[in-house]
């Protein structure tokens, strides 16, 4: 196609007999925002690597800016204006913002002396182009994740990008940061740069995309104008099945709160937080970066003990001074960053599941029976439908959704009464997300009180019967789900002033 910047025709790729891509064609036009959508394992990553020249296809043709490339190398892709921003951003943490943006360009000129004034000028010009202000002399390791994303975009523009590929760009961003990022993407688009936006967050796809291509099991299912799609169609094309999730229907089980938090404070983190959680209830906690929501979760789990206030479980005052005391009181915590905080990645799936309950599985004399450990792990693999060919494989071999199930299994095996889920579906695809939601609703139905820490607005509205909104370390509002919709909660989440007043906790009639 004459007006295409990038044209892929009939691309196929297999690894050791496994077909990663099968006859995939893609056209990206200048200044077009084209979303690439698919579940984990659908072939998205392989397609990105082929466009970047990192992987060569087994079959098919690649044309960039009218030039055919029988074999595309990474430097060819860069020279033609293709820049990939991976999830880790590939920045140098010990270098400054200006150096990360412009130093590669300066070094590519093959001069003996780096012109530091020119480095700053190029960096500032790139930031001006996307309409953001960042401290040029700040080391990148010291700036927020959202700002690192902007540094990576500015670096791509300095390299004369004509197509920027953004791989799961919003995974670690808050709702407000996502809005700001979308503004930057539209600024880039106005300058004639195309964007290939890879995501499994369907509301983002529908908001930002001009076109969307959905791939499933390595094949293109649909490539269409985004305006012709809606959430239900995207889910169907991605999964091959229709998913109709019913909101969690909370039925009060007791007049006695399971958890009562009164005037809880941790100076510098959060102040004067009060709420109740009942058996079988799912309560959401949300807020922007710096709101104190994660610090509150860590306090209730004993990682960051509160300095003031009270916590009661079943009406009894408890002191949560450390993780061990939280566990003794029946509190479990599933962290947002499962890779660094929730799992031993190189250890087997079995071992990750039994680590919390290993002492209870010891036989007389303190010996551990491998058969008993395996049977215990297998029970939870079956209970949570963890998909694995061999439970002795390292847990890092699993998909994101299955890794999250392993973390859940580890805590459920210890029979918690209160479960804190921090970003329970971050980084998982829509099919796994739906299955995890069903697991969470089932656990609540069994009487577990669940706190969901999240800024995924559809998730909060789907799971929670009440939502606590935190802002600058304080409780800014408490809302029944019945009075909220996506637009209202988004507005509340991004407002800068304290809003609302607490509604009463639910009671059994």
pLDDT digits (tens, 9 = 90+) for 463-484: 999 999 999 999 999 999 989 8
| pLDDT over threshold 70, residue 238 | yes
Cβ–Cβ contacts within 10 Å for residue 131, how many? Answer: 13
What is the distance between the alpha carbons of residues 39 and 459, in angstroms, rounded to a whole number?
A: 18
| Rounded-to-integer distance, Cα 99 and Cα 95, Å | 6
What does the pLDDT read at residue 153? 92
Q: Which residue has the higher pLDDT, 39 or 369?
A: 39
| Range scoring the smallest mean pLDDT among 181-195, 198-212, 481-495 | 481-495
CA 256 → CA 233, 277, 502, distances in Å?
Answer: 43, 9, 19
**Beta pairing, strands 33-37 & 270-277:** unpaired
Over residues 104-133, mean pLDDT:
82
Q: Indicate the pLDDT class of residue 25, thresholds 50, 70 and 90.
A: very high
What mean pLDDT do residues 108-131 have? 83
Q: Compute the distance between CA of residue 86 and CA of residue 165 in angstroms, rounded to an integer.
A: 8
Classify burial at 192, counting beta carbons within 10 Å of its beta carbon; exposed 0-12, middle 13-18, buried 19 or more: exposed
The answer to whether residue 500 scores a pLDDT higher than 60 is no
Q: What is the pLDDT of residues 302-361, one digit of tens each?
A: 999 999 999 999 999 999 999 999 999 999 998 877 666 778 888 888 888 887 766 666
| Statement: residue 24 has pLDDT above 60 | yes
State the SS3 of 61-100: EEEECCEECCCCCHHHHHHCCEEEECCCCCCCCCCEHHHH
Mean pLDDT, rounded, for 201-223: 91
Contact partners, residue 286, CB within 8 Å, separation at least 6 = 293, 453, 454, 455, 457, 460, 467, 468, 469, 470, 489, 493
Higher pLDDT, 71 or 176: 71
Q: 248-330+416-509: which CATH topology?
A: Rossmann fold (3.40.50)
For residues 139 and 305, give the distance between their C-alpha atoms in angstroms, rounded to a whole number.
31
Separation between Cα atoms, residue 286 and residue 489, nearest integer Å: 10
Tell me how far apart the alpha carbons of residues 477 and 467 are, in angstroms, rounded to a whole number: 8
- The closest of 275, 214, 162, 161 to 504, measured between CA atoms, is 275
In sequence order, the 6+-apart residues with CB closer than 8 A to the CB of 70 are none
The whole-number pLDDT of residue 186 equals: 93
Q: Which CATH number applies to 6-239: 1.10.287.130, 3.40.50.300, 3.40.50.740, 3.40.980.10?
A: 3.40.50.300
Per domain, the residue ranges of the chain are: 6-239, 248-330+416-509, 343-415
Rounded mean pLDDT, 204-232: 92
The single residue listed with the structure tokens 């609540």 is: 444
Q: How far apart are the C-alpha atoms of 88 and 449, rounded to whole Å?
A: 34
For a pLDDT cut of 90, what percent of the chain falls above it? 48
Q: Which residue has the higher pLDDT, 13 or 170?
A: 13
Buried b (16+ CB within 10 A) or exposed e, 394-410: ebeebbbbbbbbbbbbb
Nearest by Cα to 27 from 184, 167, 196 = 196
Q: Do domains 6-239 and 248-330+416-509 have the same CATH topology?
A: yes
pTM, full prediction: 0.69
Res 504: pLDDT: 42
Helix (H) and strand (E) counts in the chain? 16, 20
Per-residue confidence band for 495, with pLDDT thresholds at 50, 70 and 90? low
Lowest mean pLDDT among 63-77, 104-118, 217-231: 104-118
Q: Are 349 and 381 in contact (CB under 8 A)?
A: yes
Residue 366 is predicted with a pLDDT of 59
Q: What is the pLDDT of residue 365?
A: 56
**In the predicted model, what is the mean pLDDT of residues 283-293?**
88
pLDDT at position 359, please? Answer: 66
For residue range 348-380, list pLDDT tens digits in order: 888 888 877 666 666 655 566 677 777 778 888
50 near 215, Cβ under 8 Å?
no
pLDDT at 272: 96
């Amino acid at each position: 196609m004459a007006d295409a910047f990038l044209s892929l025709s009939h691309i196929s790729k297999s690894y050791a007999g496994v077909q990663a891509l099968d006859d995939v064609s893609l056209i990206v036009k200048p200044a077009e925002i084209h979303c690439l959508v698919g579940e984990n394992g659908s072939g998205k990553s392989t397609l990105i690597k082929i466009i970047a020249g990192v992987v060569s296809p087994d079959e098919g043709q690649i044309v960039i800016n009218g030039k055919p490339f029988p074999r595309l190398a990474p430097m060819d892709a860069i020279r033609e204006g293709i820049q990939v921003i991976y999830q880790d951003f590939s920045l140098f943490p010990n270098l400054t913002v200006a150096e990360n943006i412009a130093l590669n360009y300066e070094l590519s000129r093959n001069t003996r002396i780096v012109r530091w004034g020119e480095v700053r000028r190029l960096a500032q010009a790139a930031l001006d182009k996307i309409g953001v202000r960042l401290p040029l002399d700040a080391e990148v390791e010291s700036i927020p994740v959202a700002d690192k994303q902007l540094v990576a975009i500015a670096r791509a523009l300095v390299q004369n990008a004509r197509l920027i590929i953004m791989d799961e760009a919003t995974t670690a961003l808050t709702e407000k940061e996502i809005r700001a990022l979308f503004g930057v993407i539209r600024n880039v688009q106005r300058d004639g740069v195309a964007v290939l936006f890879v995501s499994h967050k369907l509301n983002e796809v529908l908001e930002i995309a001009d076109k969307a291509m959905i791939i499933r099991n390595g094949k293109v299912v649909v490539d269409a104008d985004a305006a012709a799609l809606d959430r239900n169609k995207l889910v169907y094309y991605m999964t091959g099945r229709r998913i109709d999730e019913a909101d969690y229907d909370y039925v009060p089980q007791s007049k006695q709160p399971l958890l009562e938090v009164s005037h809880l404070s941790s100076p510098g983190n959060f102040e004067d937080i009060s709420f109740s959680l009942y058996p079988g209830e799912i309560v959401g906690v949300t807020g922007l970066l710096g709101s104190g929501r994660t610090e509150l979760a860590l306090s209730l789990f004993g990682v960051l003990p509160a300095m003031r206030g009270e916590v009661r479980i079943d009406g009894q005052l408890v002191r949560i001074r450390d993780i061990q005391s939280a566990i003794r009181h029946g509190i479990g915590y599933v962290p947002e960053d499962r890779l660094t905080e929730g799992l031993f990645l190189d250890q087997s799936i079995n071992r990750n599941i039994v680590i919390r309950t290993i002492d209870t599985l010891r036989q007389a004399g303190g010996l551990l029976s491998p058969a008993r450990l395996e049977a215990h792990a297998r029970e939870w693999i079956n209970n949570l439908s963890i998909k694995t060919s061999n439970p002795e494989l390292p847990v890092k071999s699993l998909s994101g959704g299955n890794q999250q199930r392993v973390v859940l299994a580890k805590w459920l095996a210890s029979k918690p009464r209160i479960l804190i889920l921090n970003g329970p579906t971050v980084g998982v695809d829509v099919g796994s997300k739906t299955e995890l939601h069903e697991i969470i609703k089932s656990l609540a139905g069994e009487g577990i009180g669940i706190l969901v820490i999240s800024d995924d607005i559809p998730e909060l509205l789907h799971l929670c019967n009440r939502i606590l909104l935190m802002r600058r370390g304080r409780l800014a509002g408490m809302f029944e789900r019945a009075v909220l919709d996506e637009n209202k909660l988004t507005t509340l989440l991004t407002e800068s002033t304290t809003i609302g007043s607490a509604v009463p906790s639910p009671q059994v009639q």
